[in-house]
Structure 1
């Protein structure tokens, strides 16, 4: 398993669960100093990123790009994949494609979380889930050219009513014709929705493609009440070799949150438990 940390450039999301906020240059350099394998970046749009400069910063720090998030599509641009308006759904899918294309240049994945939308008075649950499935079909097929999967994240009930559990996500992904969509299992969301986090990870099996490594209260690992021993045993049992990425509040501050996550990563990945 490999270490990863989140880096946000989206000012509208300030105060949210992203660890580093000090811009690409400082944040990537700091991640490299702490020994992180990769960063996961949340940017306002592809246009806000200078991809050549990003590549140079990553190379200089000895850090990879694990993934680019699409969350700004919703937070900043109010685009979501279950919108009842067909043109807005097309715009949302195109936004996702641009993120896939930018990430793909680095062999990195794109993540769909908050852009999945929800059912409401304007679109019923079956239709909304169908719109989401269409978008995942499109995005998964588009990502295949870069030999990386598209990553889909079930969220807790307070953030979506599409898929809230790993089982919901597995059912959705199994219904697709593409096999190039994997699950992001965020331990914080799982702590709200799952009866047994370790059991849910085992049930996810080879569909588990990315992990948000965070404690029960969305603080860095060690700042909440999760027992990580069974979680780590479950990940080893499914031969998970992807990233454990800190999508956590920068508590008590970004630098200490990054240091604490790295301490926890080293402890739990080296522990025989």
Structure 2
């Protein structure tokens, strides 16, 4: 069964990003619960920024699940990526992501690799891909040990030159020995890169482990021109069972953005 999910960012350095709720964890969770969300997706500075006992209490108090944790702060704050030519930085990036995986796995939540994948060096793409493969192989084996898959996110061409479509990322993942990495279908990135978003979902369905919900302009779904019904139908056809997580700008404000997200979720996924 798919679950409605909303993003909460607790990292001041990324406050201009596409996250619905900000800063106050409990107040955000209270609003999410009141609006009927099933789960939350958290963006924290690192794996120790939130007391796990406190988070466990809040999840119980507001009847929410932790669906996913983002790792982007590793790049934004510490400048870490899996494709950095410096082996020490790559090792730190792996360690950072692994710590986020351990944090998330305690709650059964997946960890997302988005911006921490980095970029291919000019004229050294194969070298960069070798670095990425090395990191993902290690982290995929760790995902197997902790029993929660790792999520790899294809980003649009303006954010990475590695893999921009579900197909391209899936082909790369198929070449790994690990079987514990899945794809994130981010509808904003897909709107830029995919020829047919619904068809891409149908073709890559078994590989999709997480979905980011945002309209074509990265506002909440229903505030742009994305043909959401076709996408929702495709997710149902491939029997997707994960979170539908709102990673969108808090436009016009967090509360209204969250309300619009639930309106769209109920329109497309509860019928």
Q: 2:195: which partner in 1?
A: 195
Distance in 1 between residues matched to 2:115 and 2:174, nearest whole Å: 21
CA RMSD of aligned residues (A): 1.0
Counterparts of 1:45-84 in structure 2, within 5 Å, are 45-84=46-85
1:135 matched to 2:161: no
For 1:46, what is the secondary structure of its paired residue? Answer: coil
Distance in 2 between residues matched to 1:239 and 1:215, nearest whole Å: 22
Offset of residue 145 of structure 1: 2.5
Q: 2:182: which partner in 1?
A: 182
Per-residue CA distance 1:148-199 (angstroms, 9 max, x = gap): 1000000000000011001111111101111100000100000000010001
Offset of residue 206 of structure 1: 0.4
Contact conserved, 2:213 with 2:244, CA < 8 A, in 1? yes
Q: 1:233: which partner in 2?
A: 233
Which aligned segments of 4 or more residues in structure 1 are displaced greater than 3 angstroms? none
Unmatched runs of 5 consecutive residues or more in structure 1: none
Q: 1:171: which partner in 2?
A: 171
- Give TM-score, length-normalised by structure 2: 0.98
For 1:221, what is the secondary structure of its paired residue? Answer: coil
For 2:163, what is the secondary structure of its paired residue? Answer: coil
Give the number of equivalent residue pairs: 270
Distance in 1 between residues matched to 2:31 and 2:53, nearest whole Å: 19
Offset of residue 127 of structure 1: 1.3
Unmatched runs of 5 consecutive residues or more in structure 2: none
For 1:118, what is the secondary structure of its paired residue? Answer: coil
- Give TM-score, length-normalised by structure 1: 0.97
Per-residue CA distance 1:9-62 (angstroms, 9 max, x = gap): 111101110100032111111111111111000000112111110111111000
Contact conserved, 1:107 with 1:146, CA < 8 A, in 2? no
